[in-house]
Amino acid sequence: MYDNKIISFNGLPLFQRAKFTANEIMQGELKEFACFFYMLEGSLISYDNRGAHRINKLDGIAKNCGRYVQQYVNEAGDNYCEAIAVYLYPELLKKIYSDDYPKVVKGRTKKPNKYIANELVERYMNGLALYFEESDVIDEELSILKIKELILILLRSSIHKDVERLLLDIFSPAETAFKTIIENNIFNPLSMPQLAYISNMSLSTFKRTFKKVFNETPAKYIKNRRLEAAATQLLNSTSAIQHIAFDVGFQDVTTFTACFTEKFGKSPSNYRLNQDRN
């Protein structure tokens, strides 16, 4: 991370604009706060307890508290990506909404009648960018107004469900079940240590918990689930075998073919061919 600019509130970063080296893989944790993450340049591929997410240029994502593994990508060839983060602290939001909690928390929300286009979010971010150059201009009152403005915009956007879940987690805390975390990421190209990290466990604790929940070792269970998903795709699609292998979470076709042949007694191509004949 470089060219890092932060606007703080009561000693905590509230708005942040920074550049990141393209293709760098990093992992981290949002502790006791959530955020809205918006890409100015490049794309972000992120994995967390909700699964995989890709955020392209001029797109954003509401990220809940918890651990994540992510990579910045710039397909235009530049060696950097740039983003703005707006941090959402539970205690600050409770203070902001002390008189009246958001309707979603009271169960009175519904799907927006009309989605706000990404252009309005872009305008919000462009306006916010000005304050990074003149950080002395933004005080407590203006900071609170900007936070409320963003939440209102996002609750009327195409990602309103994510924002609703985020607010519910803040005002009505609940942990995501271990089984749900695994199901959300079972076809994502994550290593065992990365899955353990997202689950907020050491690798040894992760393996013990996995065996207890699924009654199988993580390596065996995940491999079988991926192979079964691949077999279904082979029968119900015309996708290339290489594409199917990557889609279900294998890193290379050679490993996929060997594992598939061991489980089903046929190579992926022969498996598809024999089923077609039947």
pLDDT digits (tens, 9 = 90+) for 28-78: 988 878 889 999 999 999 998 888 999 999 988 888 778 899 999 998 888
- Three-state secondary structure call for residue 39: strand
Give the count of domains, the chain: 2
Per-residue confidence band for 218, with pLDDT thresholds at 50, 70 and 90: very high
* End-of-domain residue from the set 107, 142, 171: 171
- pLDDT in the model for residue 177: 67
Query: Is the pLDDT assigned to residue 257 strictly greater than 50?
Result: yes
- pLDDT in the model for residue 166: 73
- pLDDT in the model for residue 174: 39
- pLDDT in the model for residue 165: 74
Contact at 8 Å (CB) between 46 and 69?
yes
Q: Which of 85-89, 113-117, 131-135, 231-235 has the lowest mean pLDDT?
A: 113-117
Q: Are residues 150 and 240 in the same domain?
A: no
Report DSSP state, residue 115. Answer: P
Amino acid at 225: R
Q: Are residues 121 and 224 in the same domain?
A: no
Mean pLDDT of 130-154: 87
Query: Is the pLDDT assigned to residue 111 strictly greater than 60?
Result: no
Position with higher pLDDT, 148 vs 1: 148
Q: Are residues 228 and 207 in the same domain?
A: yes
Position with higher pLDDT, 269 vs 33: 269
- pLDDT in the model for residue 118: 73
> CATH number for the domain including 204?
1.10.10.60
Asked whether the whole model's pTM tops 0.85, one would answer no
Per-residue confidence band for 170, with pLDDT thresholds at 50, 70 and 90: low
Q: Are residues 55 and 165 in the same domain?
A: yes
Query: Is the pLDDT assigned to residue 117 strictly greater than 60?
Result: no
Query: Is the pLDDT assigned to residue 278 strictly greater than 70?
Result: no
What domain range is 127 assigned to?
2-171
Q: Are residues 144 and 206 in the same domain?
A: no
Measured CA to CA in angstroms, residue 122 lies from 51, 169, 198, 271 at distances of 25, 26, 30, 48
Q: Are residues 78 and 115 in the same domain?
A: yes
- pLDDT in the model for residue 112: 47
Residue 188: burial class (beta carbons within 10 Å; 0-12, 13-18, 19+): middle
- pLDDT in the model for residue 259: 96
Q: Are residues 56 and 162 in the same domain?
A: yes
Torsional class of 121: left (φ above 0), alpha (ψ -120 to 50), beta (otherwise): alpha
* End-of-domain residue from the set 148, 171, 194: 171
Q: Are residues 232 and 256 in the same domain?
A: yes
Give the whole-number percent of the chain exceeding pLDDT 70: 88
Q: Cα(107)–Cα(179) distance, rounded to whole angstroms?
A: 26
Mean pLDDT of 85-111: 70
Q: Are residues 126 and 226 in the same domain?
A: no
Q: How many Å is the Cα radius of gyration of the chain?
A: 22
Q: Are residues 185 and 258 in the same domain?
A: yes
* End-of-domain residue from the set 105, 138, 171: 171
Q: Cα(187)–Cα(250) distance, rounded to whole angstroms?
A: 8
> CATH number for the domain including 63?
2.60.120.10
Closest CA to 83 of 119, 145, 35: 35
Q: Are residues 122 and 228 in the same domain?
A: no
Q: Are residues 127 and 24 in the same domain?
A: yes
